[in-house]
Amino acid sequence: MVCHECHMVVPMPQEGKGQASVYCPRCGCPVHARKPNSLAHSWALVITSLILLFPANLLPIMKVDYMGASEYSTIMDGIIYFFKEGSYGIGTVILVASVLVPVFKIVGIMIILLSIHFRIESWLEHKTLMFRFIKFIGRWSMLDIFVIALLTALVDFGFLSTIAAAPAAPFFCGVVIATMLAAEVFDTRLIWDAAAKSHGQHEEGRGE
C-alpha cells in the first residue's frame, strides 16, 4: 500500500488480523488501500455541483448601477458584451474559465465515475490524464468571482456608478468549491482497478 499523504510505501496488513487501521510510519496519517467511500463522495459532490450549475448560470451574477438605473447581467451576458465590443481574446478567456471549465469538470468526472461503474477497461491512460487536467483547471473558475470583487471595490462612485455582485455569485462559488472537492476525494487508482483485475497486476491479486 502507499500512503496517500506522503507517498511512502507501507506493507499491507496480514489477512486475518481484521480491518485494523494502518498508520504511515513517516507522516502518521491513516493509510488505506483506496480512499474510503471515494466513489460515493465524488458522486455526491458532482451531483451537488450539477444542481448548483443551473442557478449559477441562469441568475444574474453582476449588478451595475449607473445614474440610478440598475442593470443585471448573467455570465453569458458579459461574454456576449465582450464579443460585441470586439474584445474576442478577453471574451474567450471568460467563456473558457467561467462556462466551459465548470461544465467540462462536471461532465469529465461523471464520465470517469460511470466508466468505473461499468468496468470499462479502455482509455485508462487518457482518463487519468483527463482527471489530472480537471484537477489542474479546477481553481481557474474562481476568476469571475475575483473580477466582480475587484470591480465592486473599484467602481464605487455613489450615485454615479456602482457595481455589486448579484444572486448567482454564491451559487457560482459553490460550483467551484464542490467540483474541487469532488476531484480531491476521488481516488485515481480506482480507474486502474478495472484493468488490474484482468491483468493480475493488482496488489491484492498478487498474493495468490
Give first-to-last CA distance, the chain, whole Å. Answer: 16
Task: Write down the residue that cell numbers 451574477 correspond to.
Answer: 61
Strands (DSSP E) along 51-96, which ranges? Answer: 62-66, 69-73
Among residues 51 and 177, whose Cβ is nearest to other proteins? 177
Measured from the Cβ of residue 183, the count of other Cβ atoms closer than 10 Å reads 22
**CB of residue 173 vs other proteins: minimum separation in angstroms?**
5
**CB of residue 108 vs other proteins: minimum separation in angstroms?**
16
With beta carbons less than 8 A apart as the criterion, state whether 98 and 143 touch.
Answer: yes
Among residues 8 and 80, whose Cβ is nearest to other proteins? 8
With beta carbons less than 8 A apart as the criterion, state whether 164 and 145 touch.
Answer: no
**CB of residue 78 vs other proteins: minimum separation in angstroms?**
9
With beta carbons less than 8 A apart as the criterion, state whether 52 and 180 touch.
Answer: no
**CB of residue 53 vs other proteins: minimum separation in angstroms?**
16
Among residues 5 and 58, whose Cβ is nearest to other proteins? 5
Q: Report the alpha-carbon distance of residue 177 to residue 143 in Å, rounded.
A: 13
Among residues 55 and 174, whose Cβ is nearest to other proteins? 174
Among residues 54 and 157, whose Cβ is nearest to other proteins? 157
Residues 6+ apart with CB under 8 A from 114: none
Residues forming contacts to other proteins in the complex (CB under 8 A) are 1-2, 4-9, 25-29, 87, 90, 93-94, 97, 124-125, 128-129, 135, 138-140, 142-143, 145-157, 160-161, 164-165, 169-170, 173-174, 177, 180, 184, 188-189, 191-193, 196, 201-203, 206-207
**CB of residue 45 vs other proteins: minimum separation in angstroms?**
15
Find the radius of gyration of the CA atoms of the chain: 22
